[in-house]
Structure 1
């Protein structure tokens, strides 16, 4: 009888040991892997002992003050990697990587792990490859955006870590991009094309579903007027200046239109200042961070969802909006074009082009028939191509293939999944 596949997911940890990952989307992925019959393990610097958390088994990464672990980590720094390469960077960074890898290697050996899965190339953009390859375990790195792209003026992304991520991508057994742009960037940084795939994101189409716009507005306490929606981190890379500028232009033609911005971040004070300065002529609503349970109602309440990013790895929030029947508008950067069927499910615009964005929003708000068709087409497109379980099945089938190619013992286990619909 074949055993379960065992993966070690190197996910950015939450601030406490009470959650398996820092981000809800990653927690959902791990839970889905577990539900599919995979034994999932994670490591965390906040865990004191090994134990089950949610649907995964969590293992500790000893703190720096644990002298025995730190001393062994110092000795590890003297050992060459299998490739003869050393992690670039200062001594403090190299020691941190060694500490993580020593703990990772212990989990790999003790739990007989079959594959390491590292979203964002965590930890520290090295993805635990040194430890995994010492044990003979393959590594799949999943790129999400800031781990591969960068904008130096905004202090965003990989920046000075580019040499580290480039080395990691070259050494990984497989690299997954959540958009074709990320896959292209992985290859530009040195990942061999035959070891790069695209697995697009997916959404729960039962949770994110079409509803009644008026009912959602009443539930949320929103005025029943044309509504532009933004959901995300309110930070410079999301194109907040572009959005405010476009809204400023728009209200001259559509004075009743309101802008709803869900989220938090470094640009929030700027938005609040705009809100105060234009309180008599502009309606800007700031609900703060919104729960996963409530966010579908915001999509249902909106006439159009806008993602004006300067850089974006994927466009998962665009899929969530489209699944709720809301037309979408996004800048034509990074992975966004993979998540909008331009002219059918939504519209693309040139990043930072305020006038163009304003025109696209005005078109949706003033063309009720076309907007309704976009909303319907968006829902149908997501149901046909972006269901969450299909994404999970694609990832697990890719994991199985990587394990099989590595000669790992789990290659003998039977997979209930079909081949992944990934783009090489």
Structure 2
């Protein structure tokens, strides 16, 4: 099968974790025998604007990372920042990529278009499918359907139009799948995870990893990994840890990641006198993330909104007990798993209690480790989900052919 993938979520040399799950997923689909070309829509930004706060993260000239079996093409397109422009971002991306897509299609004869995220990728894919006369499917990552689609009535109506125009939809989590089905009348394929279960696996001994990462051997380490933004609940997490440290004095919170709230967080940590309780590790190379998880005792995530966060699945694969908020795809994926405790978002009291509960009960923590790894093996492995996706894409191709013959 020859697949034309469209994904603005794709790592580059500046942000190597951005869209890493998409790259891993596509690489595994390639290993199953598919030929894959990827068009990566990237917001075009003049050099002068990249010095401003609002545009500093847009750099369409930064080289894309390379992955086995994937040929990726950077495709700059013009759009303004902010959710309002999502109504037209797919159209802008389509106009930018259609000539390249046609050129590739003439030489490679694609069977299907596969997009990730409705805005702009799914929108552009639906338009491109009509232009190239190909079937198209889109994977919802969660935030697109749960948040972006509801930012205005105009955008929501456009989301419905796009979802109905596609030949197939996939969803990261059952709650996301239910929302898509409510507007299309068809059940999306529900998939989780793009994990290498050998790379992300429990360490028999945490000490070597801690020594390698210069982490203290005698602390109870709670790990956060993700973008440092308010949407990730980082301030609620720091407040909860501030309270927990009074009851669990050997606690160390390690925060891996960068983002717009980093400077303010560092200032808050100093003001609260938490320099010895919170370690800001900065941005971590994707291939090193497993080491940080193998060195930790539990994983914490206080997000206000999510799709199905890959870091939670990575942590569970490493046998880490998880304390997280019940948002996005998390309740459907791990709400019934004994390896995780979910609390309501923006509830610091419950977050604090859950973290204390895991830290203070050694037997609970041991049981959670086993249950977390088991759930990862059952649902989060990259090969399992790549097979599901590839079979689903084959199915919509056959259905499209049958419809055309009929």
Per the TM superposition, whether the score is higher than 0.5 is yes
Other structure's SS at 1:34 match: helix
Secondary structure at the aligned position of 2:334 is classed as: coil
Which whole-Å CA distance do the structure 2 matches of 1:62 and 1:284 have between them?
Answer: 39
* Matches for 1:323-334 after TM superposition, within 5 Å: 323-334=317-328
- Corresponding position of 1:149: 146
Distance 1:9 1:255 in 2: 49
How far apart are 1:400 and its partner, in Å? 0.9
Q: For 2:249 and 2:312, how far apart are their aligned partners in 1?
A: 26
Query: Which residue does 1:214 correspond to in 2?
Result: 207
Q: 1:203 aligns with which of 172, 176, 195?
A: 195
Equivalent residue for 2:35, pick from 36, 39, 42:
39
Partner of 2:48: none
Please give the secondary structure, in 1, of the residue aligned with 2:145: coil
SS of 1:193's equivalent in the other structure is: coil
Where do 5+ consecutive residues of structure 1 fail to align? 65-86, 151-155, 412-424
- Unaligned regions of 5+ residues in structure 2, if any? 42-59, 79-84
Asked whether the equivalents of residues 122 and 137 of structure 2 are also in contact (C-alpha less than 8 Å), the reply is no
Quick one: distance in 1 between partners of 2:76 and 2:325? 43
Instruction: Check conservation: 1:144, 1:313, Cα contact below 8 A.
Output: yes
Change (3 A) 1:378 1:13: closer
Match of 1:303 among 297, 304, 308: 297
- The Cα shift of 1:40 comes to 0.7
Q: Aligned residue for 1:56? A: 70
Task: State how far apart, in whole Å, the 1-side matches of 2:177 and 2:69 are.
Answer: 30
Larger Rg: 1
Moved more, 24-33 or 357-366: 24-33
Matches of 2:107 and 2:69 in 1, distance apart?
A: 19
Secondary structure of residue in 2 paired with 1:330 = strand
Say whether the 8 Å CA contact 2:302–2:324 is kept in structure 1.
yes
User: Counterparts of 2:168 and 2:238 in 1: how far apart (Å)?
Assistant: 40
Counterpart residue number, 2:386: 392
Distance 1:93 1:404 in 2: 26
1:30 aligned to which of 26, 29, 40: 26
For each residue in 1:347-400, what CA deviation from the matched residue of structure 2 results, as whole angstroms up to 9, or x when unmatched? 111111101010000011000111011101211221233221001111111111
Q: Take 1:343 and 1:26, find their aligned partners in 2: how far apart are those partners?
A: 25
Question: How far apart are 1:18 and its partner, in Å?
Answer: 12
* Equivalent residue number for residue 80 of structure 1: none
- State the 4+ residue runs in structure 1 displaced beyond 4 angstroms: 13-22, 44-47, 58-64, 87-90, 92-96
Deviation at 1:316, TM superposition (A): 2.1
Residue 108 of structure 1, CA deviation: 3.1
1:380 aligns with 2:374: yes
Q: Are 1:168 and 2:162 counterparts? A: yes
Bigger proportion of residues as helix: 2
Matches within 5 A, 1:233-382: 233-279=227-273, 282-342=276-336, 344-382=338-376
Instruction: State the distance in 2 between where 1:23 and 1:97 align.
Output: 20
User: 1:231-264, CA deviations, whole angstroms, 9 ceiling, x for partnerless residues?
Assistant: 1111111111211121111112112211110001
* Counterparts of 1:18 and 1:36, CA distance in 2: 29
- Kindly report the root-mean-square deviation, in angstroms, between the aligned alpha carbons of the 2 structures: 3.1
CA deviation vs aligned residue, 1:126-173 (integer Å, no higher than 9, x gap): 1321221233211110000222122xxxxx776243333222111111
Q: How many residues in Structure 1 have an aligned counterpart in Structure 2?
A: 372
Asked whether the equivalents of residues 306 and 329 of structure 2 are also in contact (C-alpha less than 8 Å), the reply is yes
Query: 2:107 aligned with 1:114, yes or no?
Result: no
Shift of 1:343: 6.1
TM-score normalized by structure 1?
0.79
Q: 2-side partners of 1:324 and 1:365: how far apart?
A: 17
Contact 1:104 1:128 in 2 (8 A): no
Counterpart for residue 100 of structure 1: 97
1:177 to 165, 171, 175: 171
1:280 Cα offset (Å): 5.9
